[in-house]
Structure 1
């Protein structure tokens, strides 16, 4: 079969001259290219793949590793799509230290950038254009999407700078995004009791029909998240070996991850990559003790296994939470909690707020595993609008002006 050639020949170092792709068998393609390293040394590389595109991609990745330069010949005339793919190639788990879940997020960001502005040439990537792209994303998708677009543009631009395609990062001088509105909702003890009562009355019935939600499991997961101040992924990653009922402590050692095209798995470290040893609250102890007595044993030693005794996906609990929220709008209106705030993360935010008011910001930050207290204050602890009377007593000193 005749070979196919891709890419113009060039004598510049750090680039492949051209990529030749040939179909070897009905299920196998081969790719070959020659080029020079950044030091001017000639190299010849080959690669294979199940498809033409896979063979080409494997060759270009190999060239990237060999020379540390751009195998695609990225330059000012290259498009944002091409730059995004060059950046993404440096983030693959086999070539970098990032986790598969993070790489999956990067793929989604690159895909969104390609859809939005993939045809834009790097030579036209100016600061006003960045502002326009981010503003459009804000209007169409919201503040979180706009922040992700800006971050992606910056990472892609920095990779283009590294490869010599553009001289500066146009995102650096772009207009700052407005600060995201802080979620102020949290549950009180009385509010939590109302939630449990409503859940027991709901019993997993869907408003639009369909199979009932596993409401007991949802209740237990939320109780553990609230009673320990942990993320839902960390709760679902709990193993019985992590729990010491005698000592009254729980060790947080991992989280649940799901990567597109792969099964759900337990990642053996948390978001911060540091284990946490948490004291068991009465709520957490009661919930875990009851599950220990009533739940069948799991081959994974999982506290919250799926029906097939596999690790339970976070999405399963999130969907159950949305079903409960949609079935109980009057509850959340009575509790003065916007429906947009009714997620599993409400439990962690409520725990942080309660601990901060009882023991201070430092204690709440330690419970959540944050690197600093600013993160806890900015995103988790809600503002106490009922001010302690001690503040008024402190200001009483100024009353002496009326005694004269």
Structure 2
């Protein structure tokens, strides 16, 4: 059509968690896991540990649930986890571990920060079987968790009870990579996510920091301050 401009999609800034929100989320999960249980098994701490590993690696929820004991190197000089699979649930098929993440190029080794390493070690100590192919996070009978079970039934229910809104696994991923971008730059953030194109990281995962470098005020004062 002539003389008609194209529709513009409004720009949305990726939502990330603040430090205060992360603290509130951790407290809510801890309270939920320690609550009195009148019937059924007690929570075994996996939800909180999964969240810590997501924050510490910026991995997708399916990638975290697919971590095997063989993927861990917690005692190395730089403790590492290898992100090398994902959990897949297809209609008509049992939930299973896929042998690569979202793409084959997404396989990566990620250094574990202290809080994530503590979660990993606590989980390993609680495993009934520690064979190399055993999943770090699994159901009580050793089968893979579905991503929907963690995302919807557990995380959403806990956050609803705590009155905390809009908490999703992908928000943890964006929060972690935004923190890396702020300190280490876009290229490092993109590598952490396993992206081949940093533009994808910048557009979809990183919240833009609106605060400009305050050094500009000093430079402009030098340039124009004398005139006043």
Q: Which bin holds the TM-score, normalised by the shorter protein?
A: 0.7 to 0.9
Question: Which residue number corresponds to residue 109 of structure 2?
Answer: 277
TM-score, L = length of structure 1: 0.49
Which of the two has greater strand per residue?
1
Q: CA deviation digits over 1:180-236, x for unaligned, max 9?
A: 65353222344322211122223387xxxx978947211111110001110000000
Question: Which residue number corresponds to residue 68 of structure 2?
Answer: 239
Check conservation: 2:46, 2:123, Cα contact below 8 A.
no
Alpha-carbon shift at residue 291 of structure 1 (Å)? 1.0
Check conservation: 1:298, 1:305, Cα contact below 8 A.
no
* Paired residue secondary structure (1:179): coil
RMSD across aligned positions (CA): 2.6
Question: How far apart in 2 are the matches of 1:263 and 1:183?
Answer: 36
Question: Which residue number corresponds to residue 200 of structure 1?
Answer: 30
Q: Which runs of 5+ in 2 are unaligned?
A: none
Check conservation: 1:325, 1:342, Cα contact below 8 A.
yes
Question: How far apart in 2 are the matches of 1:225 and 1:389?
Answer: 33
Question: How far apart in 2 are the matches of 1:212 and 1:350?
Answer: 32
Q: Which has the larger radius of gyration?
A: 1
Alpha-carbon shift at residue 265 of structure 1 (Å)? 0.8
Question: How far apart in 1 are the matches of 2:13 and 2:44?
Answer: 26
Check conservation: 2:28, 2:159, Cα contact below 8 A.
no
Check conservation: 2:25, 2:159, Cα contact below 8 A.
no
Check conservation: 2:16, 2:171, Cα contact below 8 A.
yes
Alpha-carbon shift at residue 321 of structure 1 (Å)? 1.3
Structure possessing the higher relative contact order (Cα contacts under 8 Å, 6 or more residues apart)? 2
Question: How far apart in 1 are the matches of 2:216 and 2:81?
Answer: 37
2:159 is aligned, of 325, 329, 353, to 325
* Paired residue secondary structure (2:45): helix
Question: Which residue number corresponds to residue 186 of structure 1?
Answer: 16
Q: Which runs of 5+ in 1 are unaligned?
A: 1-174, 333-338
Alignment of 1:157-196 (within 5 A): 178-179=8-9, 181-196=11-26
* Paired residue secondary structure (2:218): helix
1:268 is aligned, of 99, 103, 106, to 99
Match status 1:259 vs 2:90: yes
Check conservation: 1:199, 1:215, Cα contact below 8 A.
no
Question: How far apart in 2 are the matches of 1:204 and 1:180?
Answer: 43
Alpha-carbon shift at residue 269 of structure 1 (Å)? 0.7
1:365 is aligned, of 167, 187, 190, to 190
TM-score, L = length of structure 2: 0.84
| Closer, same or farther: CA 379–179 of 1 in aligned 2, 3 Å | same
Question: How far apart in 1 are the matches of 2:7 and 2:122?
Answer: 47
Question: How far apart in 2 are the matches of 1:221 and 1:191?
Answer: 17
1:308 is aligned, of 131, 141, 153, to 141
Check conservation: 1:204, 1:324, Cα contact below 8 A.
no
Question: How far apart in 1 are the matches of 2:134 and 2:217?
Answer: 53
Alpha-carbon shift at residue 266 of structure 1 (Å)? 0.7
Question: How far apart in 2 are the matches of 1:326 and 1:258?
Answer: 25
* Paired residue secondary structure (1:381): coil
Question: How far apart in 1 are the matches of 2:156 and 2:49?
Answer: 16
